[in-house]
Amino acid sequence: MSQPVPSGPKLRLDGVRKTFTVPRSGATVVAVETADLTIEAGEFLTIVGPSGCGKSTILNMLAGLELPTEGTVAMDGRTITGPAAERGMVFQDYALFPWKTVFENVEFGLRYGPHGKGLSTAERRRRVARCVELVGLGGSEQKYPHELSGGMRQRCGIARLVANEPDVLLMDEPFAALDAQTRIILQEELLRIWGETGNRAERRTVVFITHAIDEAVFLSDRVVVMSAHPGRIIEVLDVGLPRPRTDATRTRPEFQALSQAIWNLIRDEVYRAATAAGSAGGARD
Amino acid sequence: MSTRRWPRYFILPLGLLVLWQLWGMTLPARSRAPVPLDVLASAVDLIASGRLPMALLQSLGRVGLGFLVAGSIALVLGLLMGFFRPVERNLDPIIESFRPVAPIALLPLAILWLGTGTPAAVFIVAYAAFFPMIVNTIAGVKGVERRLVQAAQTLGVPQLTILRTVVLPAALPSIFIGVRLAMGLAWMSIIAAELAVGSKGGGGGSGGVGEMMFVFYAYYIELDSIVVCMIAVGLVALAIDHGLRWLQRWLMPWAEQYR
C-alpha cells in the first residue's frame, strides 16, 4: 500500500468522551473524559497511565471496536465508524487463532481481508514468509500457538499485523505479559520492524499502550500521560531522544529525567490505587 | 489408554455375567428369565441369519439421514443466532417452546402426515437431534473469545467470513458436545419410534431394530432375542460415540492443549 501524502494529522480525537452504563445499578461510569489529541503520520505515540485511566478504551476507539459517546475519532479526516484493515491491532493476550499454525495466522488478514485482494497465492505466501522471517519466527511456521512461548506468540501477533500492511499499528500492552528480558528484546525489534533506522517518511503510525514508563520513553516520539477516575489526558510530552534507540539510551540522563517526570505525574494516583486495593483485598502485600 | 489394560475392564462385567448365568440355572425351566448362554445362542442365530444386521442398518440409515437434516439446520441457525442478537431474539421463543415436547409425542403427527415408514422415522430423529445441537452451537458461539473476533475485525475481515473462519472453528468443541448428545438422543428415539409403530399385518410396519423388538415381544415372546437387540443397540451407540470422539480429535488436534 502506498502511503497517502499526509496533509492533516493521521489520527484525531476531537472532544471524545466515553461513558459506560453499569448493567445492574444503571449508574454511569466515565471511562474517558473529553480527550483531544492529534497523532501525526509516521509518529510513534505511547499512552501511559494507571489501570482504569481509559488508555485501552482510547485504543479501542481508534480501532473502531468501540465508538465514542460524544465527539469524533477520525483517520485522515474521515470519522471512524468501525474496525478496518487500515488500523491493525496487537493484543496483550496475543489473540492468535489456536487452530491455525504460525504461517496461517500471519496469512489470515491477507487471505480473508481486503488487503490480500489482487495478490496471487504465491505473492501472498512470499509476503507471509518475509514477515515470519522479519519477526524471527523462521523455522516455526508450522507450529501451533500453544507450542510457542509467550514471546514467540507475540512475535507471531506482530507478524500477523505487519503482513496485513495497515496504515496505523495499534498495540494494546503487547509486552505486558512477557518477562523482563524478552520485553527488552522485543522493544528493540519492534523499533527495527517499524523502520527506526530507515527513511522517516516510510514509517507507519504507531499508537502503543503500556503501563511501563520506561517502555513508553524508550519507544516513543511522544508520550501521552493519563490519569484515572475519570480517565483523562493530563500531559503530552516530547521524548526527543535520538534514534535509533539502543541499550545506551536507557542510561542517558534525559531518559532518566523524563521517566522520573512521568512517574511524578502519576505517582500519587498509583499509590492511592495500590493502598485502596491493599485495604480492600485484606492484608496481602 | 494402552491395550495392555483392556482385560481389566472386562473382569467386572464378565463376573456379573457368570453370576447371572449361575442364578438363571437355579430357576425352573418355564420361567422366561433370559440367561447369558441362551442370549448368546439367540445372538448367533440372529446375526448369522442376517436379520439383526439388516435391521440395524435400516435404523442406522434413518438416524444418519435425520441427523444430517437436523445438523445442517441447527448449525446454520445456531451460528446466526449466537452471533447476531436480533436473530436470536426472534427465533429463541419458538425454539424454546418446542424443546420440551418429547420426540415420541410427535409420533401421531408424523404417522398421519408421513406414514409409518422411513420418512416418519427420519422426522422423529431429526426432531430429537435438533435441540441439543442448536443449544450447544449457540452456547459455543457465545463462548468464543471476543478478542479472536476483534483480531479478525482489525484485519478487515468481513463479518460473514469471520463467522465461517473464526467463530465456527472456535465454537467447534462445544458444537461437538451437542453432536454427541444429539446422536444419543437420535438413536434412543429411533428405537422408541419403531417400537411404538411396531408391525401391522399386511404391511405398514416400521422396520428397523425397533420393529424387530416389537415382533419378538408381541408375537413370539422371545425375551432372549429382545435382550440381543438391546445389547446391539447399546453397542452401536458406544461405537458411534467412539467414532465421534475420534473425529473430534482428528478435526481439532489443537483443542486438547488449548482447552
Count of domains observed in chain B: 1
CA distances from B113 to A39, B69, B107, B121, B210 (A): 68, 18, 10, 12, 20
Contact A278, A285 (CB under 8 A): yes
Contact criterion met (CB < 8 Å) for A113 and B155: yes
Predicted confidence (pLDDT) at residue A4 exceeds the cutoff of 60: no
Asked if residue B156 belongs to a domain, the reply is: yes
Beta bridge partners of A168: A87, A205
pLDDT attached to residue A206: 97
- Going by C-alpha positions, the residue among A43, A22, A15, A76 that lies closest to residue A233 is A15
The ipTM is 0.90
Asked if residue B173 belongs to a domain, the reply is: yes
The rounded radius of gyration (Å) of the Cα atoms in chain A is 19
Distance CA A32, CA B189 (A): 57
Predicted confidence (pLDDT) at residue A232 exceeds the cutoff of 70: yes
E strand or H helix at A222 = strand A222-227
Contact criterion met (CB < 8 Å) for A146 and B157: no
Distance CA B234, CA A86 (A): 56
Residues of A in contact with B161 (CB under 8 A): 112
Distance CA B159, CA B168 (A): 12
Q: What residues make up the domain containing B182? A: 35-258
User: Which one of B151, B255, B257 has the shortest CB-CB distance to A95?
Assistant: B151
Distance CA B57, CA B61 (A): 6
In one-letter notation, the amino acid at residue B220 is: Y
pLDDT attached to residue B204: 58
- Going by C-alpha positions, the residue among A273, A25, A230 that lies closest to residue A281 is A273
Percent composition of chain B: helix, strand, coil (DSSP 3-state, to 5): 80, 0, 20
Asked if residue B11 belongs to a domain, the reply is: no
Mutate: best of A93, A99, A169, partner B, most B CBs <10 A:
A99
Mutate: best of A94, A111, A112, partner B, most B CBs <10 A:
A112
Contact B36, B21 (CB under 8 A): yes
* Chain position carrying cell 401391522: B200
Distance CA A100, CA A144 (A): 6
In one-letter notation, the amino acid at residue B56 is: L
Q: What is the pLDDT of residues A166-210, one digit of tens each?
A: 999 999 999 999 999 999 999 999 999 998 888 888 899 999 999
Mutate: best of A62, A66, A90, A97, partner B, most B CBs <10 A:
A97
CA-based nearest distance A184→chain B, Å: 25
Ramachandran bin of A111, using left for φ above 0, alpha for ψ from -120 to 50, beta for the remaining angles = alpha
Separation of first and last alpha carbons in chain A:
51
Contact criterion met (CB < 8 Å) for A83 and B150: yes
Q: What is the pLDDT of residues B6-28, one digit of tens each?
A: 677 788 888 998 998 888 888 88
| DSSP secondary structure of A143-189 | --GGGS-HHHHHHHHHHHHHHT--SEEEEESTTTTS-HHHHHHHHHH
Asked if residue B20 belongs to a domain, the reply is: no
CA-based nearest distance A110→chain B, Å: 8
Which pairs with CB-CB distance under 8 Å and at least 24 residues apart come from A232-241?
A: A232/A32, A232/A33, A232/A34, A232/A35, A232/A53, A232/A54, A233/A35, A233/A36, A233/A37, A234/A265, A235/A262, A235/A265, A236/A37, A237/A261, A237/A262, A241/A217
Residues of B in contact with A82 (CB under 8 A): 153
Distance CA B149, CA A62 (A): 17
pLDDT attached to residue A39: 96
Ranges in chain B, pLDDT < 50: 1, 258-259
Distance CA B16, CA B12 (A): 6
Q: What is the pLDDT of residues A24-63, one digit of tens each?
A: 888 888 999 989 999 999 999 999 998 888 999 999 999 9
User: Number of A:B CB contacts under 8 A?
Assistant: 77
- Across the range A139-150, mean pLDDT stands at 94
Contact B157, B167 (CB under 8 A): no
User: Which one of B156, B165, B252 has the shortest CB-CB distance to A85?
Assistant: B156
Asked if residue B137 belongs to a domain, the reply is: yes
Residues of A in contact with B258 (CB under 8 A): 98-99, 146
Distance CA A208, CA A59 (A): 8
Predicted confidence (pLDDT) at residue A7 exceeds the cutoff of 70: no
Question: Diameter of chain B by CA atoms?
Answer: 78
- Across the range A251-270, mean pLDDT stands at 92
Residue of chain A minimizing CA distance to B158: A113
- Going by C-alpha positions, the residue among B194, B193, B187, B173 that lies closest to residue B239 is B187
pLDDT attached to residue B259: 43
- Going by C-alpha positions, the residue among A65, A69, A73, A113 that lies closest to residue A89 is A65
Task: Give the domain CATH number at B188.
Answer: 1.10.3720.10
Supply the mean pLDDT for chain A.
91
Separation of first and last alpha carbons in chain B:
20
pLDDT attached to residue B216: 81
User: Which one of B154, B165, B254 has the shortest CB-CB distance to A89?
Assistant: B154
Contact A166, A85 (CB under 8 A): yes
pLDDT attached to residue B221: 78
Contact criterion met (CB < 8 Å) for A146 and B254: yes
Asked if residue B234 belongs to a domain, the reply is: yes
pLDDT attached to residue A284: 36
Predicted confidence (pLDDT) at residue A275 exceeds the cutoff of 80: no
User: Which one of B148, B150, B165 has the shortest CB-CB distance to A112?
Assistant: B165
Distance CA B181, CA B245 (A): 12
Contact B208, B51 (CB under 8 A): no
Distance CA B234, CA A174 (A): 52
State pTM to two decimals: 0.85
Asked if residue B119 belongs to a domain, the reply is: yes
